[in-house]
Amino acid sequence: MAETTRTVVIARQEFVLRPSQVELRLRGVLPEPVKEHFVVINRRRYPPKQVLGLVTGLDRAEFTTHHARRILTGLGFPADRRTRLHEAGRSSRRTGAGSSGSGAVARPRVHGADMAARPSGETLEPYVGQWVATKGPEVLVGASDPRAVVGWLAEHGQQADSMFRVPQDQFEASGVAPS
């Protein structure tokens, strides 16, 4: 099956884009903080303008977030809005323990923390073996070296709730030596 190819015009320049070209260009590139919109590439969330700017070499002022998102979704990359994810989390917490709504279901708690405020295994899967900084249910950044994570947080003025290395397997997670 042939790979999707899109020819787009941005700032009066024509570009021929392919998903494999985008994925290759982003290998090893840490995503910038996601403000609202994101696209998923190589199983990580990137701001659309960061991606299109890197792939085309254009200044980000030459296109809008919506234009970048439309181009990237046209190449087959999934996209979403961060606010939609936060709204879903807020509404599920409203119906949790202590809610006055009927049929409320108590959420499990770990050491007093709401489980919804932690990244899921699915969210952490792309970062296996890497150091991550998390805030609530989101991974802010992941890298192979903890200094790179701390440097990214400082560079982008971000503050994490936690930082840890995602285990590579069940033995590493439990601290048990394999037999």
Residue 144 belongs to domain spanning: 117-179
In a domain, 146, yes or no: yes
10 and 71 share one domain: yes
Position 11 scores a pLDDT of 92
64 and 13 share one domain: yes
76 and 129 share one domain: no
Q: Cα 8 vs. chain centroid, distance in angstroms?
A: 25
29 and 75 share one domain: yes
* Number of structural domains found in the chain: 2
In a domain, 75, yes or no: yes
Position 93 scores a pLDDT of 42
- Percent of the chain scored above 90 by pLDDT? 57
- The widest CA-to-CA distance across the chain, in whole angstroms, is 62
Position 123 scores a pLDDT of 85
125 and 61 share one domain: no
In a domain, 107, yes or no: no
Structural tokens at position 148: 């790179």
Residue 114 · residue 93 · CB < 8 Å: yes
pLDDT tens digits, one per residue of 70-128:
999 999 999 999 865 545 444 444 444 333 333 333 334 444 444 457 888 888 888 98
Please determine, for residue 53, whether its predicted confidence score (pLDDT) is greater than 60. Answer: yes
In a domain, 34, yes or no: yes
